[in-house]
């Protein structure tokens, strides 16, 4: 079974070498695909140098434009399908997701179609976030769960394992949302398709290095994107 961890990057030079080395140190035969949005800080150059150390395991796509997390992941998903990977993971570059938890997500996905590294399935497991951001994220997931009616506690989670068939059947070209909205739309479409989703409790740790990509536009898209998804679902236009 071929396993690919997709890590989207933009200005992650402080983290990228460590996150790649940590994933490969797991000795679990994970491959890594970095999808870099032409980072001006030289993130891609660091990855290119590391490819000489991991020639068969480390892959790099450099996109010419920065047009959202969702677009970067979809680019990576399509590459993964073309290269015959069986399990495809989403993970951040900044160690907010513990690479050691990749193994737990993989084991859970063997008995489901999709597994989610969940901050909220067992209480609130977030470290070093300001209280305001914790509350925003927690109640955003509650809001999405209520509006869309999906049985997922952490609807905006970005630490996910997909079995190949989910990405083949979910309709990647129909995904419209880009930021947190993208994460919500992927989960909603998977549930609507009847795929089995498992949540795996994790501890999410705020980044120590680099700069967060969160902004008001991402939040706005998520709030109103959810309403649009609900409307499309109701009229059969999803």
Q: Locate the domains of the chain by residue range.
A: 3-234
- pLDDT tens digits for 153-197? 999 999 999 999 999 999 999 998 887 789 999 999 999 999 999
Q: How confident is the model at residue 212 (pLDDT cuts 50, 70, 90)?
A: low
pTM across the whole model: 0.91
pLDDT band per the 50, 70, 90 thresholds, residue 211:
low
Question: Which of 49-53, 198-202, 216-220, 232-236 is predicted least confidently?
Answer: 216-220
**Nearest partner of 202 among 104, 57, 131, 113, judged by Cα:** 104
Q: How confident is the model at residue 123 (pLDDT cuts 50, 70, 90)?
A: confident
Q: Which of 109, 107, 93 is nearest to 164 (CA)?
A: 109
> Tens digits of per-residue pLDDT, 55-112?
999 999 999 988 889 999 999 999 999 999 999 999 999 999 999 999 999 999 999 9
C-alpha count within 13 angstroms, C-beta hemisphere, residue 151: 9
Tokens 């989960």 sit at which residue?
Answer: 187
Angle 73-69-33 (CA atoms, 0-180°, nearest 5)?
40
Q: What is the DSSP letter of 156?
A: T
What dihedral do alpha carbons 86, 197, 36, 64 form, nearest 10°?
90
Tokens 């997922």 -> residue: 152
**Burial of 180 (C-beta count, 10 Å sphere; 0-12/13-18/19+):** buried
Considering only CA atoms, which of 75, 81, 91 is closest in space to residue 175?
Answer: 75
Q: For 124-151, how does the pLDDT look when each residue is reduced to its tens digit (9 = 90+)?
A: 888 877 888 888 888 888 888 899 999 9
Name beta bridge partners: 60: 34
User: Dihedral of CA 43/26/3/212: which sign?
Assistant: negative
Block residue for tokens 């979809």: 74
The alpha carbon of residue 147 and the mean position of all alpha carbons in its chain are separated, in whole angstroms, by 22
Structure tokens at 6: 């997709």
Q: Please provide the CATH number assigned to the domain covering 3-234.
A: 3.90.550.10
């Amino acid at each position: 079974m071929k396993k690919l961890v997709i890590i989207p990057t933009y200005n992650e030079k402080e983290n990228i070498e460590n996150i790649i080395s940590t994933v490969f140190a797991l000795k679990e035969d994970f491959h890594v695909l970095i999808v870099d949005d032409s980072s001006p800080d030289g993130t891609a150059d660091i990855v290119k140098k590391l490819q000489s150390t991991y020639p068969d395991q480390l892959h790099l796509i450099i996109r010419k434009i920065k047009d959202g997390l969702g677009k970067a992941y979809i680019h990576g998903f399509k590459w993964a399908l073309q290269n015959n990977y069986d399990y495809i993971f989403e993970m951040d570059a900044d160690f907010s997701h513990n690479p050691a938890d990749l193994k737990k997500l993989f084991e859970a996905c063997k008995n489901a179609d999709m597994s989610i590294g969940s901050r909220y399935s067992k209480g609130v497991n977030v470290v070093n976030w300001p209280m305001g951001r914790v509350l925003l994220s927690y109640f955003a997931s509650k809001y999405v769960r209520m509006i869309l009616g999906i049985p997922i506690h952490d609807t905006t989670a970005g630490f996910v394992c997909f079995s190949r068939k989910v990405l083949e059947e979910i309709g990647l070209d129909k995904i419209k949302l880009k930021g947190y909205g993208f994460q919500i739309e992927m989960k909603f479409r998977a549930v609507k398709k009847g795929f089995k989703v498992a949540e795996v409790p994790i501890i999410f740790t705020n980044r120590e290095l680099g700069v967060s990509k969160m902004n008001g536009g991402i939040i706005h898209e998520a709030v109103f994107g959810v309403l649009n998804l609900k409307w499309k679902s109701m009229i059969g236009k999803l």
